Structure 1
Amino acid sequence: MKKPEIIIEKGREKDELHALSYEFFDAVNEYNKEHTDQAHVVVLACDSKGGASFMVGDTEMCVKEFCESAVRHKGFLDLLKGILDKLQD
């Protein structure tokens, strides 16, 4: 797995949403150190100030899981439709 690239938006270094996302990011990386079948994770988090999102693992695996989730869960399908609409703007 690639070395993680961490980008923190200016001003978010100490806010609560960033801390929450970073805690989960650390937990995923710790999990992956202990398991040969590593997790591939995408977290999208935002509040009125901006985002605190991350991705760990293989992009293709994450895309596959997202597409499978969009077939099974309306919320993921709505997110996908929203992304496609935004890209067409």
Structure 2
Amino acid sequence: MENYLSAQQLGTFAGIAIATNVIVQFTKSIFKKRCKDYVIRIYTFVITLILSFIFIPHNNTLKDIVLLIINSILICMTSFGNYEIFKDTYRNTKK
């Protein structure tokens, strides 16, 4: 178990971004068939927010909750960026 993600690693910016990418990539086909792209973006934010509340240590104060939401937005935007990099890298460019 030393080589896999631990709870401490998931409590970091990179850990949550990786977990978000993995979860969304494996489950977005459920929404992609019936919904538009903006639904996937909202879904990604919700996943990021849930992971942040679970793995980032915080007190239940308004300040900590607002910081978790802001961090979730940043992590969500990072996840979008990672997806775009991979999508553009492996896009079929033959015409």
TM-score of the superposed pair, with normalisation by structure 2: 0.25
Normalized per residue, the structure richer in helix is 2
Larger RCO: 1 or 2 (CA < 8 Å, sep 6+): 2
